[in-house]
Structure 1
Amino acid sequence: MQKLLLGALALVVITMLCGYGLWTEQRPAGHYLSDLRVELTLNQGIPANQGNLLGIEPELFPGDYQSLQRLHLKLAAYLQHAREQGLISRKTVVILPEHIGTWLWALGEKSEMYQVTHLDQARQWLELSNPLRYGLAMLGATGDDRRADAHLRMKAAQMASDYQQLFGGLAREFDITLVAGSIVLPEPYVDGGTLRVGSGALYNSSLVFANDGSILGQPVRQKHPDNGVRRFIHAGAQPLQVLETPAGRLGVLVGSDSWYPNNYRQLEQQAVQVIANPAFIGVKHGWRAPWRGNRHQPLATQLPLKPGEVSEGEAWQRLILANKGREQASMSVFLQGRFWEVSADGEGFASRNGQNFSVSAKPGARLLNLWL
């Protein structure tokens, strides 16, 4: 009798495990209507066949990341709107915001994950739906936030592939040079034209795609991660690179790297002409809040501004204008939208000839254009 009960119990356990395994593989796509509207809020300069910097500040939500097709639909709609207004040519450099690729960790998950209201709940759904991958990722996780590290590490290879497919495809489709915001991956590198990942530390990196969809150079790793991500993102140590584009020699500064003078000196030594700054502020109304600074970075003590001295928005503009050369054009672009309780904020701006040009602050997706 005891053997019979043990056998029945084992059968029940096996049945439950098989059912759970089948459940984790199911990814039904829910219905989701995305707002494809975008407004041109900054348009400076005169077309002169020198090209332009075109910033896109997309308004994104978790549902936009349910599939690669949905995300492509939204970004392509913004680009098509810009094309219809005569803002896209082969000499256009399009800049997308920081971390637009990082949220690809949410791609292809169960519909329940996109419907919860808190990020921690979404992470729980991610773990429950991917128990084996999450468990293995936790074994290799590092940093002060091993859980966040594991969430990115467990899907890193697929995120890298999706990132290249999406943004390389958009660059080719619209015949543009595309600064594809940034993505957090473990030791990313380009080999044979393909974005690949390693097994070491996580880096917040930006890639640039040429008009034919190919990757230009190597990933640009952020050197000075800000306070919000330093618990699991490491500081990059590679020298900055300047890339040849139809609009001129392009340098990329990821996020708060745009605050530090030495980064501009590195780019100037390589005769940089245009600077792209993908940026992200994950605090509601953070643009007008007191500047937080970067207290965990030793070089931050040498900055001419102190935390709380000015607003976040004023600090970004003053630091960039003070650091870059007058002859260089630059543009900073911020993500809009909401990711569970995390509100993306910030108002993009461009700089040229010693002047800053700010967007007209309006809700929703925005386009910024600066003729070179």
Structure 2
Amino acid sequence: MQKLLASALALVILAGLCGYGFWTLQRPQGHYLSDLRITLALNQGVPGEHGNLLGVEPLLFPSDYQNLTRLHRKLSAYLDQARAQGLVNARTVVVLPEHIGTWLWARGEKKELYQVTQRREAWQWLELSNPIRYGLAMLAAQGDDRRTDAHLRMKAGQMAADYQQLFGGLAREYGVTLVAGSIILPAPYVEDGVLHAGSGPLFNASLVFAADGSVLGQPQYQQYPDSETRRYVQGGQQHPLQVLQTPAGRLGVLVGSDSWYPANHQQLAAQSVQLIANPVFLSGKHSWQAPWRGNRHQDAASTLALQRGQVSEQDAWQQLTHSAGNGISSMSVFLRGQFWEQAGDGQGFANQGTAWWAGSASPGARLLNLWL
């Protein structure tokens, strides 16, 4: 009798495990409606032979990341509208915002993950749907926030491939140089033209794609991670800033708050930079007018001209990001949208020499254009 009960219990457990395993493999697609409109919030200068910096501030939500087709459809719709307005040519440098690639960790998950309202609930669905991958990633996780590290590490290979496929494809499709915002990956590197995720600590990095879809240079690591990501993202000071040759001029990328630090601007100027792309993600609804948070966790922040809370986020970004170098043009582009309870805020702006211009505070997605 005991053997019979034990056998029955084993069969029930086995059936339960098989059922759970089968459930984790199911990825049904939910209904999808998306606003593809975008407003031209800044158009400075006149068309010429030197090209332009074209910033795209997309309005994105978790459902946009359910598959690459959805995300491509939205971003290509924005670029189609820019092209219809004469803002896309062979010398255009398109700048996308920070972390537009990081959210690729949500690609290909269960529909419930995109429907919940809290990020912790989305994490629970991610972990339940990928138990083995999550468990292995936890064993390899680093930093003070091992759970977030594991979420990104377990999807890193897929994220790197998706990032290159999507953004390299967009660069090739529109014949532009494309600064693909940023993505958090473990020790990313490019080998034989392919982006790879390594096995080291996580870095927030940006990649630039040429008009034929190929990668220019190596991933540009964020030098000074901000206070929101410092618990799982490592600083990239051991990977110096690079300047890349593009049809519009010599281009450098400063990821997020890296644009605050004069030493970074000086390092790029020493390499004869002409263009600076600054992809940004500023979290928090209405945070653009809130007191500046600064970055008290970075030693280099103590040397900045402003103190934490002294001015608004808007004033701090515009004052600190300004590059005083003659002949240098730059553009800061912010990610908009709502990722569970975390909203993206900010208002893009551009610099050219000693002059700067802010985009209008129009709702929804925005385009920013600066003729060079």
Aligned to 1:363: 363
Aligned to 1:251: 252
Aligned to 2:342: 342
1:1-372 matched pairs, under 5 angstroms: 1-236=1-236, 237-321=238-322, 323-372=323-372
Distance 2:329 2:353 in 1: 8
Distance 1:151 1:353 in 2: 41
Distance 2:291 2:224 in 1: 20
Please give the secondary structure, in 2, of the residue aligned with 1:213: coil
Runs of 4+ that moved beyond 3 A = none
Distance 1:130 1:282 in 2: 27
Distance 1:200 1:329 in 2: 34
Distance 2:285 2:296 in 1: 20
Please give the secondary structure, in 1, of the residue aligned with 2:369: strand
Distance 1:324 1:16 in 2: 65
Please give the secondary structure, in 2, of the residue aligned with 1:265: helix
Please give the secondary structure, in 2, of the residue aligned with 1:162: helix
Distance 2:178 2:111 in 1: 30
Please give the secondary structure, in 2, of the residue aligned with 1:142: coil
**1:284 positional shift:** 1.2
Letter in 2 for 1:299: A
**1:165 positional shift:** 0.1
TM-score (norm 1): 0.99
Letter in 2 for 1:216: L
Please give the secondary structure, in 2, of the residue aligned with 1:163: helix
- Tell me if structure 1 keeps the 8 A contact 2:62–2:340: yes
User: What is the CA RMSD across the aligned residues, in angstroms?
Assistant: 0.6
- Tell me if structure 1 keeps the 8 A contact 2:324–2:353: no
Distance 2:65 2:302 in 1: 38
Gap regions ≥5 residues in structure 1 = none
Please give the secondary structure, in 2, of the residue aligned with 1:351: strand
User: Residue 9 and residue 80 in structure 1: after superposition, are their counterparts in 2 closer, same or farther (change >3 A)?
Assistant: same
Distance 1:306 1:336 in 2: 26
Distance 2:235 2:286 in 1: 27
Letter in 2 for 1:256: S
Distance 2:177 2:341 in 1: 33
- Tell me if structure 1 keeps the 8 A contact 2:292–2:313: yes
Gap regions ≥5 residues in structure 2 = none
Please give the secondary structure, in 1, of the residue aligned with 2:350: strand
Please give the secondary structure, in 1, of the residue aligned with 2:31: coil
Distance 1:258 1:117 in 2: 32
Please give the secondary structure, in 1, of the residue aligned with 2:94: strand
Which string of whole-angstrom CA distances, capped at 9 and with x for unpartnered residues, describes residues 267-300 of structure 1? 1111000000000101111111000111000010
**1:176 positional shift:** 0.2
Which string of whole-angstrom CA distances, capped at 9 and with x for unpartnered residues, describes residues 3-62 of structure 1? 000000000000000000000000001111111000101000011111000000000000
**1:353 positional shift:** 2.5
Letter in 1 for 2:252: G
- Tell me if structure 1 keeps the 8 A contact 2:277–2:332: yes
**1:141 positional shift:** 0.5
Letter in 2 for 1:245: T
- Tell me if structure 1 keeps the 8 A contact 2:101–2:182: yes
Letter in 2 for 1:128: L
Distance 2:192 2:295 in 1: 36
**1:64 positional shift:** 0.2
Letter in 1 for 2:241: L
**1:326 positional shift:** 3.0
**1:324 positional shift:** 3.7
Q: How many residue pairs end up in the alignment?
A: 371
Please give the secondary structure, in 1, of the residue aligned with 2:108: coil
